[in-house]
Structure 1
Amino acid sequence: MSWGRLMKLSNVRKILFITLSNIGDVILTLPVLSALKDNFPEAGIDIVVGPRPREVFKKDPRANRVFIYDKYAGFKDKITFIKKLKAEKYDLAIDMKASLLPLLIGAKYRSAIFPIARSGIKHKRLIHLESLRPFGLIYKKQKNIYIDDEARKKIEDILQTSGIKDADIIIGVCPGSKSHLKQWKKQGFASVINSILGNSQYKVILIGDTNEAGISKEIAAAVRQQGVIDLTGKTSLNELFALIEKFNLLLTGDSASLHIASDLGVRVAAIFGPTDPEEYGPRGKEDAVMRKDLKCSPCKKAQCKFGTHECMTAISAEEVLSTIRKVLK
C-alpha cells in the first residue's frame, strides 16, 4: 500500500521541510514548499536549511520556524539537533536531501530515503517535486520566491536614484558563480555590455554576492559606455529577489541568480559549460541556453581534465549578443 493511501490529510498539522545548503539549490526546492502550503493551508511548516541560504526564509510567511543545520557540526551537536526535532512530533517530513533525518526524528509520514523519479525526468526542480507524488499532493504552477514589500520599495528607490526610467529595458548580468569553471570570460561580458549600451534605452545592472564583487568591478571598469550599475554584493537576498524581478532579461552562467530569475518568470540567457542545462537550465519558453557541443561537455567535474576550459572559452561575445537580441525580440 502506498504512503498516499495511508495518509489522512486532515491529520497533518505539523510539517518539517528539509531543504539544501546552497542558495540556488534551495530555490529549486521552493515549489515543494509551495505545494505543502497549498495542500495543508492550516498546518505549521518548519524548515531545516543550511546556514548560507537561511535568508531565503527570513521573511517568508510560509515558514513557521527555521532550524539551521550545520553539516560541519560535531557528532554530539548533531545528536542534540535530532533530539530537538524528534520532540516536535512531526506528522509529515519531506526531505530534499533524501537523508535518514525523517526516519530518525520519527515523523509519522515521510518522504523516501531512496526516491526514484519517473523515467525521463532530469531537471532538479522536477525531481524535487517527485517527492510529493507518493502522497498524491498537487503542485500548482506559481512564483515560489517570497518578496516582501519593503524590499520592493528599496529596489524602486535604488533604480530611481540610478536614473532608470520606466521605459528603460533593464538587463541584469550575473558574471559570477560558485565554481569558477561555470564562469564565462570577463572580457566577453565587457564586450557584450559595451554593445548593449550602444542603445540608450538599455541599462545594465551587475549582480552577485559579495565574493563576486571583484569580478563585477573588473567588468565595469572595462566597459567604455555609460549606463552600467554595479549592485554586486550591495543588496540583501530578499532585495536581490526584488531586483531580479525588475529585469527584462538576465544574462548569467549556471548560478543561483539563474534559478531566481527562472522562478520569477524573468527571461534568461544562460551560458553553460561543465554542467547540464537539462538538469539546471532555465525552463521558460522564451529562455535560451548557449553552450558548445563538445564530447566532454557536460563533464560535471570540479576541474577541467584538459586544462583548457574550452566549453566556456569557445563561446564568443558575438554568439551571446545575438542570443540576447533574439530573446528580447
Structure 2
Amino acid sequence: MGDFRRILVIELLGGIGDLLMVLPAVHALGRRYVGARVTVLTEEPGAELLRTDPWVAEVSTSTDVRGELARVDPDLVVSTSMHSGIPGLVAAHGCRAVTDLWRNPPADQRIPVRYLEILRAEGLIGETDPTPRVHLTADELERGRQVVGDVKRPVVLVRDSGMAVKRWPYFDELAEVVPVLELPAMSLRELGACFAAVASVGGVVVGGDTGPVRLAEAMGARVVGLFGPTTVERYGYGDGNLQGLPECPHRRPLAITEQPCWWSARCPLAEDGPACMAAISVRDVLGRLSGGGAGRASV
C-alpha cells in the first residue's frame, strides 16, 4: 500500500443513497491512511451528512471538478462517477486513481461490498465493514430522542422513493394496522438523529430503495426494504428486505436505467403502476415487522 497524504473521493451521482453507499469506502480509506486529508466532492443535500464525520477532513460541493483537482492536489482519487469527462480529468491530474467502482459488477453482490472489494483488489484497503455509518453530534442525537419521545417500537414509513417507479402503493393500508410514528419535515441530519432514536427504542423504518431509508440503516435502525425495479441482491439493506415480482422478465439488475419502466413508471405488466411494487402485500410487510428475514413477493 502507498502512503497517501491527500485523498479525494468524487461522488457526483446525485442521490443521498449513492453517497451513503460509498461511505464505507470513504471510512476505510480514512482508517487506513490515518495521516491523510480526505476530501469528499459531492452534492447537497447529502453533503451535510459528512460535515462532522471524523474520517472526512473536508466536504466540497463545487461543480468544478477540474478546479477541485487543482485545489486539493490529491495523490489518490477514488470516484464513483463516470459522467462529464470525470475519469479523463482525473487521469490528466496524473495521480494514483480508481475511477470506475462500477466495473464488472456481479448481479448478486451489494454495491457497497463491491466498492470495497475493488479497493482491496487495488491494494488500497484491507478487510472492513460494509455497513454505512453517519456521525452526528451528541446534541443532535439528544434532540432526535426528544422528537421521538417515549414511544416503544414505533414504525416510521418513508413513503416517497424519489422516483415513481420505486413507490409502494399500500402505505395507507399499512398505517391502519401498525403504530406509525409521524415525523415533521426536517433536515437530513435531524432525520438521522430521529432514526437513531427510533433504533434505540426498538423501532423499524419501512420504505423503498431511497436515500432516507439508507440513512436509517446508517443510523442503526432496523429496516424493512421494499424493492421492485431494483434488486435486493444489489441494493438491499440488512436482511429485512422484500423483493416484489422477482421473476419479472423486464428487470435488468446491472442496467436498471435501461428497464422500460425506469423513467416513466409505466409497467409493461400492469396498467395501474409497477407490478413489482404492487406485488409486495401489507401482509408481507407485517411478516417482516414481526421479525421475518428477507423474502420475495410474487403475484
Q: SS in structure 2 opposite 1:230?
A: coil
Closer, same or farther in 2 for the Cα pair 1:250/1:83, shift >3 Å?
Answer: closer
Is contact 1:56-1:237 (8 Å) kept? yes
Say how many residue pairs are matched.
Answer: 270
Match of 1:310 in 2: 275
1:126 equivalenced with 2:113 (yes/no): yes
> Could you tell me how far 1:31 is from its partner in structure 2?
0.3
Is contact 2:245-2:276 (8 Å) kept? yes
Closer, same or farther in 2 for the Cα pair 1:26/1:139, shift >3 Å?
Answer: farther
Match of 2:259 in 1: none
> Could you tell me how far 1:196 is from its partner in structure 2?
1.5
Match of 1:250 in 2: 205
1:292 equivalenced with 2:253 (yes/no): no
CA distance in structure 2 between the aligned counterparts of 1:35 and 1:323, rounded to whole angstroms: 31
The correspondence for 1:33, drawn from 26, 32, 38, is 26
Match of 1:109 in 2: 96
Is contact 1:182-1:272 (8 Å) kept? yes
AA aligned to 2:76 is L
> Could you tell me how far 1:158 is from its partner in structure 2?
1.4
Deviations for 1:90-109, whole angstroms, at most 9, x for unmatched residues?
11111121441422333x21
> Could you tell me how far 1:150 is from its partner in structure 2?
1.9
Deviations for 1:143-179, whole angstroms, at most 9, x for unmatched residues?
521122121011122123xxx34xx112221111110
Match of 1:174 in 2: 158
Q: SS in structure 2 opposite 1:176?
A: coil
Query: 1:1-329 maps to which residues of 2 (within 5 A)?
Result: 7-9=1-3, 12-20=4-12, 21-70=14-63, 78=64, 81-98=65-82, 99-100=86-87, 101-106=89-94, 108-113=95-100, 116-117=103-104, 122-133=109-120, 134-141=122-129, 143-160=132-149, 164-165=150-151, 168-185=152-169, 188-197=170-179, 204-205=180-181, 229-231=182-184, 234-247=185-198, 248-282=203-237, 284-285=238-239, 287-296=240-249, 298=251, 300=256, 301-303=262-264, 304-306=266-268, 307-308=271-272, 309-327=274-292
Deviations for 1:41-76, whole angstroms, at most 9, x for unmatched residues?
111111110233221222223222222143xxxxxx
Unaligned runs of 5+ in 1: 1-6, 71-77, 198-203, 206-228
Closer, same or farther in 2 for the Cα pair 1:297/1:266, shift >3 Å?
Answer: farther
CA distance in structure 1 between the aligned counterparts of 2:68 and 2:144, rounded to whole angstroms: 39
> Could you tell me how far 1:277 is from its partner in structure 2?
1.6
Mean CA deviation greater in 92-101 or 109-118: 109-118
Identity level (%): 21
CA distance in structure 2 between the aligned counterparts of 1:150 and 1:298, rounded to whole angstroms: 44
CA distance in structure 2 between the aligned counterparts of 1:291 and 1:297, rounded to whole angstroms: 13
Unaligned runs of 5+ in 2: 257-261, 294-299
Is contact 1:267-1:327 (8 Å) kept? no
AA aligned to 1:18 is I
Is contact 1:102-1:111 (8 Å) kept? no
Match of 1:220 in 2: none
CA distance in structure 1 between the aligned counterparts of 2:101 and 2:26, rounded to whole angstroms: 20
CA distance in structure 1 between the aligned counterparts of 2:105 and 2:229, rounded to whole angstroms: 25
> Could you tell me how far 1:118 is from its partner in structure 2?
6.7
| Bigger radius of gyration among the two | 1
> Could you tell me how far 1:245 is from its partner in structure 2?
1.9
> Could you tell me how far 1:112 is from its partner in structure 2?
4.2
Q: SS in structure 2 opposite 1:144?
A: coil
Q: SS in structure 2 opposite 1:16?
A: strand
Higher helix proportion: 1
TM-score, length basis structure 1? 0.74
Q: SS in structure 1 opposite 2:291?
A: helix
AA aligned to 1:280 is Y
Mean CA deviation greater in 306-315 or 242-251: 306-315
> Could you tell me how far 1:305 is from its partner in structure 2?
4.2
AA aligned to 2:119 is L
